[in-house]
Structure 1
């Protein structure tokens, strides 16, 4: 018995933020140059009281227009934007969606590698006979963590949610996975205050980085150059290792879909991996970096562009906050 991805749906908030909007707020920042280099034109932010759970519910309900939710027997929820410290948001999501009470449900806290981890977990649940239909949900509202004067991160990150149905298959349509972790780089992308280590500060000190970006330890901090260096040093070789793990040559891969961090980084990785442009999918201009959502959003968009119903072999690789990375082989078609 194998596993397959039956369908993916995604939701972006209605609050669309264009580069023109950000340019009006930060007139000294060259957003034309940003757009050309990073490849992001628009991003969508959650509205005032809208949470990642709200977005997750909408993404799942969209998926349920195509698939019967009563057949789901496991719910996996990837988020770094939980509704509460406890209980686990997956339990609340189960109730809000009206899923059966005999389903398993849990959260896991991973960022840009999270979707790939989720696929591997779903595959393991199915192939071990513990589950037949796994609902994998990703949802993030990083916009709520970013300081209002941190123009770099405001420009990069968007919010969103995705829902993926992974089910049993007579053919093995989800291959093998590899993983990587380097917790020594945990401080490269971090919110220091608000959890067990440090409480939120009432009047935190303003800090700066890069070209006069500001943040506090209550807000998201990202050391962009260090994240880029980590990615450049690890991901090209790792991607080739994923190919070897699945005993498939690069020539037999139809597409590669990596975490859609930014276009400059992705083009750098493409050249290092040495794969043709037409096989290396890049599309983040209308959503930005949505963290764990970028790969499933890209897969859905890719599926819409496929002209036939033949399965396509796709290498997926996620990398980022943690530091954490993961990669694997999947098959998708236009009906995804």
Structure 2
């Protein structure tokens, strides 16, 4: 039987850093207000000449290097993003060109907002299991700073820019074990960008805690596992209180949760691969461990993916 395994990870953060104290100078807010409600201390913003594909390129190069492969071995590219370079062509096609890949492999974007990376990862897994691809590059990349309403102090302080990437390869050993994805468009008004980001924070918090708990239980039930069988929870980095609530439902101590929200803010589809790469490179994530990824995003979309590392 064919499975898909992650063989390399990479990430990239723009050089420009804005702390909460920096934001105090341009928005009617405070460090304490932001930190107590979100856990965020600082975030990265892309330079004026940096596009989403540029961030994706840097993260992809690191993932490809970590995987020990050549770029031309990649026969599918999926870019999860809410902030593409342009309406078309897709950021994935632009990334394919920038990577110098000329093998005619498929490339497309996936739009599921903050749930984008788990959607894209599940899609890549299905392509590999179905025999339509052998080596897949999955990227979460965002330049959300250009979608913020600086008159809305409840949202503009929460988001940041960045990119994370993974390379998956066909294997006879299980890697991506189970994935569960959901969506419910009836809630689309709670969190949207038209064209600037707006959000009903209290409603989003309540909804996120509920559906994340449900989808995590769905994954565990299918595998006949308990929350304590999870070695690392790598959640979407939106809000420390949502992350804490999910960990509590799993019976996990926060020491078993990979946290980057304090340094990155909410980077939407980029947040999980950014956090994953951080934990892989610092040695926390080790072979044989059970890794649970989960996310919820505007739409609403949500999902969870269980990986055996």
TM-score (norm 2): 0.93
2:190–2:298 contact (8 Å) kept in structure 1: yes
Shift of residue 162, structure 1, vs aligned partner: 1.5
1:17 aligns with 2:33: no
Distance (Å, rounded) in 2 between the aligned partners of 1:44 and 1:99: 29
Report the CA distance shift for 1:308/1:273 in structure 2 as closer, same or farther (over 3 A): closer
Q: 1:253 aligns with which of 207, 225, 230?
A: 230
When the two structures are aligned, how many residues end up with a matched partner? Answer: 306
1:292 aligns with 2:269: yes
Shift of residue 221, structure 1, vs aligned partner: 0.9
Shift of residue 268, structure 1, vs aligned partner: 2.2
1:68 aligns with 2:45: no
The answer for unaligned runs of 5 or more in structure 1 is 193-217
Distance (Å, rounded) in 2 between the aligned partners of 1:68 and 1:48: 30
1:172 aligns with 2:174: yes
1:321 aligns with 2:298: yes
2:160–2:264 contact (8 Å) kept in structure 1: yes
Distance (Å, rounded) in 2 between the aligned partners of 1:149 and 1:92: 33
Q: What are the superposed Cα offsets for residues 163-221 of structure 1, whole Å, 9 maximum, x if unpaired?
A: 210001121111111111110011111123xxxxxxxxxxxxxxxxxxxxxxxxx4111
Match of 2:32 in 1: 32
Look at both structures and tell me which one has the larger radius of gyration over its CA atoms.
1
2:10–2:59 contact (8 Å) kept in structure 1: yes
Match of 1:46 in 2: 46
1:148 aligns with 2:150: yes
Distance (Å, rounded) in 2 between the aligned partners of 1:38 and 1:126: 37
- Stretch moving more, 269-278 or 293-302: 269-278
Distance (Å, rounded) in 1 between the aligned partners of 2:305 and 2:39: 25
Secondary structure at 1:319 match in 2: strand
Distance (Å, rounded) in 2 between the aligned partners of 1:59 and 1:113: 19
2:293–2:304 contact (8 Å) kept in structure 1: yes
Shift of residue 308, structure 1, vs aligned partner: 8.0
Secondary structure at 2:97 match in 1: helix
Match of 2:129 in 1: 127
Q: What are the superposed Cα offsets for residues 52-105 of structure 1, whole Å, 9 maximum, x if unpaired?
A: 112112222233333321211111111111122122222222112111232111
1:257–1:317 contact (8 Å) kept in structure 2: yes
Match of 2:239 in 1: 262
Distance (Å, rounded) in 2 between the aligned partners of 1:308 and 1:221: 35
The answer for unaligned runs of 5 or more in structure 2 is none
RMSD: 1.7
2:9–2:64 contact (8 Å) kept in structure 1: no
Match of 1:237 in 2: 214
Distance (Å, rounded) in 2 between the aligned partners of 1:308 and 1:61: 21
1:184 aligns with 2:197: no
Q: What are the superposed Cα offsets for residues 208-240 of structure 1, whole Å, 9 maximum, x if unpaired?
A: xxxxxxxxxx41111111111111222212211
- Stretch moving more, 305-314 or 289-298: 305-314
2:20–2:30 contact (8 Å) kept in structure 1: no
Shift of residue 307, structure 1, vs aligned partner: 5.8
Report the CA distance shift for 1:10/1:149 in structure 2 as closer, same or farther (over 3 A): same
Report the CA distance shift for 1:243/1:145 in structure 2 as closer, same or farther (over 3 A): same
TM-score (norm 1): 0.86
